[in-house]
Amino acid sequence: MKCLPAFDFFSLFSFILIIEFSFAADSIARGESITDGETLVSSFQSFELGFFSPGNSSNRYLGIWYKKSPSTVAWVANRNNAITDKSGVLTLSNNGSLLLLNQEKRSIWSSNSSRVLQNPVAQLLDSGNLVLRSNVGRSSDEYVWQSFDYPSDTLLPEMKLGWNLKTGFERYLTPWRSADDPTPGDVSFRLDNSTAVPELVTFMGSRKHARSGPWNGQTFEGIPWMKDSVFKLIVEHKEDEVYYKFKPINDTVTTRLQLENNGTYHRFVWDETTSKWHKLYSWPFDHCDNYAECGANSNCRVSETPSCECLTGFISKSQEDWDSPDSRSCVRKPSDCPGGEGFLKLPKMKLPENYWSNQSMSLRECEAECTKNCSCRAYANSQVVGGGNGCLMWFGDLIDTRECSEKYLWGQDIFIRVPTSDLESSQESSKHSNKKKRLKIIVAISIISGMFILCLLLFMARKKAKNKDQTKRELLDWSMRFRIICGTARGLLYLHQDSRLRIIHRDLKTSNVLLDHDMNPKISDFGLARTFGGDEIEGSTNRVIGTYGYMAPEYATDGLFSVKSDVFSFGILVLEIVSGKRNRGLYNSDNKFNVIRHAWNLWNKGMPWQLIDACYQESCNPDEVIRCIHISLLCVQHHPEDRPSMPSVILMLGSDSVLPQPKQPGFLVDRKSTGPDSSSSKPESSSTNASTFTELEGR
């Protein structure tokens, strides 16, 4: 083989380096250009800028997309002016402006920079922001132009949505018209600058489509799931600007908000394991999120049929109007002010729009001010931080209100002015309603209890269901696993609440949940169970007996047990069912790793789906599985008082209500054991409240 001359080899090597540099560059200087087929790539390979054709279209656009997901375009420059061929060129002009030129060298888009730079540089940052700066200026204050000021349909971390109050410049989202056409649609997602407290609003043209409700210091109360342990929400209201933005608490989480042409926006998170985007939530969520769904002075309750009703103290204008969705409206009942009125508290509500605000007033001062003015229709706190502060008052119609108490964790208390007669009747109605609800619960639980007792008599024989064979494990698809979770929860509910004596199992684990041939779960092995009568709810013992890996921290260390101890064990059982791994059978290369710690770490990284057993990953409902993981982490919280009761767990499993964020779990250091079901005991007496008796060994 003939060797290349040294000079030729050096030239070839230099040429390769130049090509590599051109593909790896994240910036261009004055006079430099990017043609169709060339790209800029941010320094850590997060984003890429270049020309693309959306969907099935042959038109070309300049855009920014995720390097690891090229089909996910975060920003488009020439949305209204497509290039019909591959002749497009992006260049940085001598006066420091970015110009997009077509085949005729005519500018079809430019950055329109207001300042002239001596040594301009256009750089693509790892945030996805394309910035124009001088070659020595690195801070955001020195950017003369940035793509973050001109969003398309996507909101990225640290991208602001809001207003420059000095110049009147607004940043807002507009969706693509279709997957083939990035032209702005008629929908827009904005931060409303006309309100005293910042709100997010989706518009269909000039008509409001959905409204978030006011910022309450933690979240926008109409979109409660925006507040998440994975993301930090930031709302600033300064003299010169007001804006909303978000950022991941963990920088390794890749996330975005995207607005669709139907007015719905979605939160997506990237899963590195599957290399796919996962949808976390969408808004509007249901029809009660639609703006003024029930008209003025009315309440929307998504769990009721019909869902619209007049607020207490108001009546419908006419039945004909009420039957028509476009003309629903309620008016105040005649009343005598002052003297013949009072304020009725409506808990957990989305606050209506068009309010007066005073951030320095307390709730008591707010009430006093509203009481003095007969035109004041309602009042509430503006902030929930620190127990509540600030004052909101309404002097006109109460528009766009919904009930959040049953469907959402969030929502605020509002106090509305009503006639004294309505105040008294509302209190009586509330008592009657509570009695009816209790009766319904008693009847339902009685039926469930009867069924459970019948099944319990048939399946008391101990039978361990250990099966580590992969093919057999695959038979348990997600629907079966979810049925086992729900059935076990109902069994615990019976033991804790509906049996004649309250029973605490103290050794709940997967091997003590038996399955019949129809895969119905039955809790077994009551050898360690303790019964309570009357108002007894907890106990203590010096003889700790049970299976390590399933014991609640307070029981394993101090011998304290209660219904919340079983809740902890149930949480571990759910994690095992979801992951397909035993709590003491998960290791990494360095440390022994239990399922609780593994689930908690994935949760904090915003990647809980990585816990899902690969056997059913493709066929499951990811949202349902992640909800089960969320519930399990609530069950294994370190402090018993933070854990939900079993009635609450069943409610959470059977609904799509927004869940609270879990706190630190109780990590137990697993001890060396001789077998999978080893237990520990210390031969001493135990006591429960006023009763003292000997602990029976179940092994």
Q: What is the pLDDT of residues 81-91, one digit of tens each?
A: 999 999 999 99
**Residue range 227-240: average pLDDT?**
82
Angle between helices 622-635 and 478-493 (to 10 degrees): 30
**pLDDT computed for residue 651 by the predictor:** 79
Q: What is the pLDDT of residue 436?
A: 57
Q: Would you say residue 546 has pLDDT above 90? A: no
pLDDT band with cut points at 50, 70 and 90 for residue 368: very high
The CA–CA distances, whole Å, from 354 to 146, 294, 310, 315, 394 equal 34, 16, 18, 21, 7
Q: Give the mean model confidence (pLDDT) for residues 586-615.
A: 76
Provide DSSP, 294-337.
T-BTEEE-TTSSS-EEEPTTEEES-HHHHHSTTS-BEEEPP--T
Q: How far apart are CA 502 and CA 564, in angstroms?
A: 13
Half-sphere exposure of 336 (CA within 13 A, CB side): 4
When pLDDT is cut at 50, 70 and 90, the band that residue 485 belongs to is very high
Bridge partners of 91? Answer: 33, 99
b (16+ CB within 10 A) / e for 599-630: bbebbebbbbbbbbbebbeeebebeebbbbbb
Is a pLDDT exceeding 90 seen at residue 471?
A: no
Instruction: Check pLDDT > 90 for residue 187.
Output: yes
- Quick one: average pLDDT of 542-553? 78
Q: Are 228 and 235 in contact (CB under 8 A)?
A: no
Assess whether pLDDT exceeds 60 at residue 432: no
Q: Mind giving me the DSSP string for 663-697?
A: --B----PPP-SSTT--------EEETTEEEPPPP
* pLDDT of residue 110 exceeding 70: yes
Rounded to 5°, the CA angle 107-113-115 comes to: 135
The answer to whether 160 and 140 have CB atoms below 8 angstroms apart is: no
* 642 secondary structure, DSSP code: G
Instruction: Look at residue 75 in the predicted model and tell me its pLDDT.
Output: 98
Please, which pLDDT band fits residue 537 given cuts at 50, 70 and 90? Answer: low
Which amino acid, one-letter code, is at 68?
Answer: K
Whole-number pLDDT of residue 18: 34
In angstroms, rounded to a whole number, what is the distance separating the alpha carbons of residues 558 and 666? 14
Q: Of 581, 561, 563, 559, give the one whose Cα is nearest residue 572.
A: 581
The residues of the chain that CATH labels 2.90.10.10 are: 27-150
Strand 89-92 relative to strand 98-101: parallel, antiparallel, unpaired? antiparallel
Beta-carbon contacts of 283 under 8 Å, excluding residues fewer than 6 positions away, are 210, 212, 223, 264, 265, 289
φ, ψ for residue 17, nearest 5 deg: -60, -40
512 vs 524: CA distance, rounded Å: 5
Dist. CA 612–CA 447, nearest whole Å: 33
Superfamily of domain 27-150: Bulb-type lectin domain (2.90.10.10)
pLDDT class of 15 with cuts at 50, 70, 90: very low
Compute the distance between CA of residue 54 and CA of residue 35 in angstroms, rounded to an integer.
Answer: 18
pLDDT tier, 589 (very low <50, low <70, confident <90, very high otherwise): very low
Distances in Å between the alpha carbon of 320 and those of 309, 323, 493, 627?
14, 5, 46, 42
* Residue 579 neighbours by CB distance under 10 Å: 22
Using the predicted structure, report yes or no on whether residue 212 has a pLDDT greater than 90: yes
Q: What's the pLDDT at 557?
A: 83
What pLDDT is stored for residue 445 in this prediction?
Answer: 65
Total Cβ atoms within 10 A of residue 590: 6
**What is residue 691's predicted lDDT score, i.e. its pLDDT?**
30
pTM of the model: 0.63
Confidence bin at 689 (pLDDT 50/70/90): very low
Say yes or no to pLDDT of 404 above 90.
no
Which of the two residues, 5 and 195, has the higher pLDDT score? 195
Residue 201 has pLDDT above 80, yes or no: yes
pLDDT of residue 229: 58
For residues 12-24, give the mean pLDDT: 38
Distance, CA of 259 to CA of 284 (rounded, Å): 11
Q: From CA 358, how far away is CA 377, in angstroms rounded?
A: 16
Q: What is the mean pLDDT of the chain?
A: 81
pLDDT, position 111:
94
Say how far apart CA 453 and CA 446 lie, in whole Å. 10
Q: Comparing 138-152, 481-495, 609-623, which segment has the lowest mean pLDDT?
A: 609-623
Q: Which residues are part of the catalytic machinery?
A: 507
* 460/602: higher pLDDT: 602
Q: What is the model's pLDDT at position 429? A: 52
> Residue 174: which of 164, 161, 165 has the closest Cα?
161
Return the number of other C-beta atoms located less than 10 Å from residue 294's C-beta. 27
Every domain range in the chain assigned CATH 1.10.510.10: 459-693
Sign of the alpha-carbon torsion through 141, 144, 147, 151: positive
User: Which residue, 297, 411, 428, is CA-closest to 354?
Assistant: 297
| Residue position matching structure tokens 């083939």 | 180
Give the range among 280-284, 381-385, 472-476, 658-662 with minimum mean pLDDT: 472-476
Please tell me the distance from the alpha carbon of residue 541 to that of residue 297, in angstroms, as a whole number: 57
Of the two residues 53 and 606, the one the predictor is more confident about is 53
Lowest mean pLDDT among 303-317, 527-541, 629-643: 527-541
Say yes or no to pLDDT of 590 above 60: no
- Residues pairing with 203 in the sheet: 188, 208
The residue-averaged pLDDT of 431-458 equals: 60
pLDDT of residue 554: 87
The confidence score (pLDDT) of residue 427 equals: 53
| Confidence at 455, pLDDT banded by 50, 70, 90 | low
C-beta of residue 452 within 8 angstroms of C-beta of residue 521: no
For residues 326 and 320, what is the distance between their CA atoms, to the nearest angstrom? 11
Give me the pLDDT at residue 96, please.
87
Yes or no: say if 111 and 126 are a contact pair by the CB < 8 Å rule: no
Region 479-496 average pLDDT: 89
> What's the rounded mean pLDDT across residues 210-231?
81
**Quick one: pLDDT at residue 673?**
38
The answer to whether the Cα torsion of 390, 396, 400, 402 is positive or negative is positive
For residue 615, name the pLDDT band (cuts at 50, 70, 90). Answer: confident
What CATH superfamily classification does 459-693 receive? Transferase(Phosphotransferase) domain 1 (1.10.510.10)
- CA-based nearest residue to 96, from 127, 126, 121, 60: 121
Rounded Cα distance, 452 and 67, in Å = 54
Decide if pLDDT at 564 tops 50: yes
Confidence of residue 375 (pLDDT cuts 50, 70, 90): very high
pLDDT tens digit sequence for 322-364 = 656 556 789 998 877 877 789 999 988 999 999 999 999 999 9
Q: Mean pLDDT lowest for which of 146-150, 166-170, 426-430, 512-516?
A: 426-430
DSSP β-bridge partners for residue 562: 538
Place of tokens 């689930």: 599
Band (pLDDT 50/70/90 cuts) for residue 433 is low
Burial-class residue 70 by CB neighbours within 10 Å (0-12, 13-18, 19+): exposed
Residue 126: pLDDT band by 50, 70, 90 thresholds? very high
Task: Please state the separation of Cα 71 from the chain's center in Å.
Answer: 25
